[in-house]
Amino acid sequence: MNNPNVDDHNLLLISQLYPNVYPPFVPQQAEESKPAPRRRRRKSKSVAVVEEGGDGSNGWFRKRKLSDEQVRMLEISFGDEHKLESERKDRLASELGLDSRQVAVWFQNRRARYKNKRLEDEYTKLKNVHENVVVEKCRLDSEVLNLKEQLYEAEREIQRLAQRVEGASSNSPISSSVSVEANHTTPFFGDYQIGQDGDCYENLFYSPDYIGGLEWMDHFTS
């Protein structure tokens, strides 16, 4: 449970009363001066439990959390500067009643957390940008589809009109000139290829319907 650790207070007190309480653990590391396996670490405890009420002389010191106040001070210091020069490290250590090694380790871990947080934020930002791009792509895709549809309708309308013109001209004395012109002018849409979607020119000017005279013009503008 979240018992505002009596234990922690004891340990803090101990650590302040015995500022060099950590060095005794160093010999354990000295043991490892024998050729160590590369990149693999020991499983032994570097710190162990201190018996409550004990003087720490025969007990192991367990790993303990730093007090809120210690963490607060360290955070302030980290806020000023993420790197830790030895002078500042020693000053902080003595101010907080910690071993300078602890201060160094705390800063190492704090930098790692900071880096992770930054990466996480960056990831979130990029993810949002990506999502927006995907949405915009969908919108553009549907716009393209819509425009294609309109284009197709326009083609069909042109075809219908052309067929009517053809029908009218075949029954009129001026028909030949109109149809010849219709057959030789460039496509209405310039570069656009009429019939590219499967339509063809074969029936372009064929119309079963007949609209007499220039009535088709009214039809076109209505």
Partner DNA sequence: TTGTGTTTTACGACCTCC
Partner DNA sequence: GGAGGTCGTAAAACACAA
Pick between residue 107 and residue 205 the one whose CB is nearest to DNA.
107
CB of 129 to DNA, least distance (A): 24
Contacts with DNA, 136-155, as mask; x by CB under 7 A = --------------------
4, 63 in Cβ contact below 8 A? no
Is 220 one of the binding residues for DNA (CB under 7 A)?
no
d(CA 104, CA 109): 9
Name every residue whose Cβ is closer than 8 Å to that of residue 216 and which is 6 or more positions away in sequence: 161, 164, 165, 168
- Name which of 46, 19, 17, 15 is nearest 30 in CA terms: 46
CB of 95 to DNA, least distance (A): 16
73, 92 in Cβ contact below 8 A? yes
What number of chain residues touch DNA (CB under 7 A)? 44
Is 71 one of the binding residues for DNA (CB under 7 A)?
yes
179, 204 in Cβ contact below 8 A? no
15, 21 in Cβ contact below 8 A? yes
d(CA 119, CA 115): 6
Looking at residues 42 to 61 of the shown chain, list those that interact with DNA (rule: CB under 7 A). Answer: 42-47, 49
CB of 88 to DNA, least distance (A): 9
CB of 139 to DNA, least distance (A): 36
Pick between residue 106 and residue 205 the one whose CB is nearest to DNA.
106
Residues within the interface to DNA (CB under 7 A): 1-2, 5, 8, 22, 25, 29, 32, 36-47, 49, 62-66, 71, 83-86, 89, 101-102, 104-109, 111-113, 115
